[in-house]
Amino acid sequence: MKYNAIQPFVPSGSNFQASKELFLELGFNIMSESDGYIRFENNGGGFILQSYDDKHFAENFMMRVTVSDVDEFWLKISEKDLPAKFGVKLREPTEFPWGKEVNLIDIAGVCWHFSQGD
């Protein structure tokens, strides 16, 4: 059996509209949208943003997204001033034993690991 895609349901936190705008700023495209759900994709990778607010769940949920060039990704998103616009936390590219990544804590509290990779 071959899996074609995995698309987790990511909680939006208390402000679904602001979360939608954040992911658009990050370069994701809306593929479909219905009552309380938005399917986002970029280059074949994606997730479903769900209008769901559970702080404990969100703060224990992480997503890993590989990008072709983490330094270029950082330059593009750091210009957008996402912490001021959305109240998110953002950490510059950092080298870890598993590779270089940019970390972003989104509006709900989900930790996104944007990592160098194919």
Any residues with CB less than 8 A from the CB of 98 and at least 6 apart, and which? 115
Q: Is residue 2 part of a domain?
A: no
Helix/strand/coil for 82 = helix
Helix/strand/coil for 43 = coil
CA angle at 16 for the pair 12 and 18, rounded to the nearest 5°: 105
Q: Which of 86, 75, 67 is nearest to 23 (CA)?
A: 86
Q: Which domain holds residue 29?
A: 9-116
Q: What is the pLDDT of residues 44-65, one digit of tens each?
A: 899 999 999 999 999 999 999 9
The kind and range of the H/E element at 45 are: strand 45-50
Res 117: pLDDT = 82
Res 49: pLDDT = 98
Residue 5 has pLDDT above 90, yes or no: no
The domain that contains 21 carries what CATH number? 3.10.180.10
Res 4: pLDDT = 87
Averaged pLDDT, 96-118: 94
CA angle at 81 for the pair 87 and 71, rounded to the nearest 5°: 115
Residue 98 has pLDDT above 80, yes or no: yes
Q: Rounded to an integer, what distance in angstroms lies between the CA atom of residue 88 and that of residue 96?
A: 22
pLDDT band at 93 (very low <50, low <70, confident <90, very high): very high
Q: What is the pLDDT of residues 67-80, one digit of tens each?
A: 999 999 999 999 99
Number of domains in the chain: 1
Q: Is residue 3 part of a domain?
A: no
pTM of the predicted model over 0.85: yes
Residue 118 has pLDDT above 80, yes or no: no
Res 51: pLDDT = 98
Q: Is residue 4 part of a domain?
A: no
Residue written as token pair 């705008």: 21
Q: How much of the chain, in percent, has pLDDT values that exceed 70?
A: 100
